[in-house]
Chain A
């Protein structure tokens, strides 16, 4: 069965600090997809990234970067030089191949203080 664990319930940092959000997943499939979403107070989930299990290359998009390590079943998300606008709940999610059920973690609430 698929499972996503986000052990950090809440993180608080001061603006310009770097912060890493952890995500550990479980699946028996060899083909699967990992996602990160941001949920600001408005409630809408904003798509950030999708990676498939065959692509372990790390990715950088502006201040955001993702570290995918199959050996530890982790897909961690780092925000560099955090800003107040980064304050939100961040969700990691897993979707197994040919399965429409996207399984979300419990989320990490990030607060960036000025």
Chain B
């Protein structure tokens, strides 16, 4: 079975631009979460979606948004990119239920110049 897949793997954007990151969960997983991992730090929670509904949001500005599609895949959108948005963006999927273990993809490395 395929694990969590994310695309693209690497991305370079200019300040002020917009970016869309994509994630496909493990088959059968209906919950998708997004995390931002700045170099040298632990991942920080951005969003969780379940059945296309937002179930949780971390302390991130409104420039960050996400959505989940009927096939449970998800997109993370970031507008008006800042240099500080440069990070590894990780997507995780999990089975329904609270506090279940999350399975992560390999991430998208975003560099803002």
- Of the listed stretches A56-64, A67-75, A77-85, A97-105, chain B binds A97-105
Number of interface residues of A (CB under 8 A): 26
CA A44 to CA B41, docked complex, whole Å: 14
Nearest-Cβ distance from residue A90 to partner chain B, whole angstroms: 10
CA A105 to CA B3, docked complex, whole Å: 24
Q: Which of B42, B58, B99 contacts A105 (CB 8 A)?
A: B42
A-contacting residues of B (Cβ < 8 Å)? 3, 33, 40-45, 48, 55-56, 58, 88, 90, 92, 98-107, 109
**B55 touching A45, Cβ below 8 Å:** no
- Closest residue of chain B to A104 (Cβ to Cβ) is B42
B-contacting residues of A (Cβ < 8 Å)? 4, 33, 35, 37, 42-47, 50, 52, 91, 93, 95, 97-107
Nearest-Cβ distance from residue B89 to partner chain A, whole angstroms: 10
Q: Which of B56, B99, B104, B109 contacts A45 (CB 8 A)?
A: B104
Number of A-B contacts (CB under 8 A): 62
CA A42 to CA B33, docked complex, whole Å: 20
- Closest residue of chain A to B108 (Cβ to Cβ) is A43
- The interface residues of chain A lying within 8 Å CB-to-CB of B42 are 4, 91, 93, 104-107
- The interface residues of chain B lying within 8 Å CB-to-CB of A102 are 33, 43, 45, 102
**A100 touching B45, Cβ below 8 Å:** yes
- The interface residues of chain B lying within 8 Å CB-to-CB of A104 are 42-44
**B56 touching A100, Cβ below 8 Å:** yes
CA A105 to CA B101, docked complex, whole Å: 16
Give me 16 other A-B pairs in contact (C-beta within 8 A), A44-B106, A50-B101 excluded: A42-B106, A43-B88, A43-B90, A44-B3, A45-B43, A45-B90, A45-B92, A46-B104, A47-B102, A50-B99, A93-B42, A101-B56, A102-B45, A102-B102, A103-B45, A104-B43
